[in-house]
Amino acid sequence: MIYLARHGQTQWNVEKRICGRADVPLTTVGRRQAQNLVQKLSDKKIKIDRIIVSPLCRAQETALIVNEKLQLPLITDERLIEMDFGVYDGKAISTPDFQKARLEFSLPFPNGESILDVASRVYPLLSELENRSEQVLLVCHNAVSRVVDNYFHGKNMQEFLAFNLANTEIKCYEKR
């Protein structure tokens, strides 16, 4: 099984700002959510062999808090870094130009990357993980989570864009 969790809350999540490569830390609520993530894993009797995490501090801090209890191998993988939203990083999610640009999955954001770019780095990681017997927890970001979900459950563009993973929500994917 591959388990996927989004990092805990950041101030930019609260402010509904686009948070791509900006290294925004967790809030107090986000740290508490990370502590609760450990309990969620325990309540669901999820056994993890290894944690793989994005290099951004919000994901790192979430994974470190989870791993204080689990004491597992923790690997940082650059392929899980959040999508580069380019000129839109830090702007309001409701920004009309951003909302229009995000519909063009094959085109990169100005000074950023496209959804296809993200898939080209995330899909090989998922393929590698499918060929291993271990169960892993990926700790990453919302846009990356969309790509992971699409890998396992191909979606049309509307469904793809509608998929959201709440802070510290867990999704489970069976290896194909």
Residue 62: predicted pLDDT: 98
Whether residue 8 is annotated as binding a ligand: the answer is yes
**Structural domains in the chain plus CATH codes:** 2-173 (3.40.50.1240)
> What is the per-residue pLDDT for 91?
97
pTM: 0.95
In angstroms, what is the C-alpha Rg of the chain?
15
Q: Is 36 exposed, middle or buried (CB count within 10 Å of its CB: 0-12, 13-18, 19+)?
A: middle
6 is in an annotated binding site: yes
Residue 58 labelled as part of a binding site: yes
Check the annotation: does 7 bind a ligand: yes
Q: Is 11 annotated as a binding residue?
A: yes
**8, 26 in Cβ contact below 8 A?**
yes
Q: What is the pLDDT along the chain (176 residues), one digit of tens a residue?
A: 999 999 999 999 999 999 999 999 999 999 999 999 999 998 888 999 999 999 999 999 999 999 999 999 999 999 999 999 999 999 999 999 999 999 998 999 999 999 999 999 999 999 999 999 999 999 999 999 999 999 999 999 999 999 999 999 999 999 87
Give the pLDDT score at 24. Answer: 95
Sheet containing strand 170-173, edge to edge, reads 74-76, 50-53, 136-140, 2-6, 170-173
Q: What is the reported pLDDT for 176?
A: 76
Token duo for residue 151: 């890998």
- Residue 172 makes CB contacts below 8 A (sequence gap 6+) with 1, 2, 3, 4, 46
The residues assigned a catalytic role are 7, 82
pLDDT of residue 175: 83
Which 3-state string (H, E, C) describes the chain? Answer: CEEEEECCCEHHHHCCECCCCCCCCECHHHHHHHHHHHHHHHHCCCCCCEEEECCCHHHHHHHHHHHHHHCCCEEECHHHCCCCCHHHCCCECCCHHHHHHCCCCCCCCCCCCCHHHHHHHHHHHHHHHHCCCCCEEEEECHHHHHHHHHHHCCCCHHHHHHCCCCCCCEEEECCC
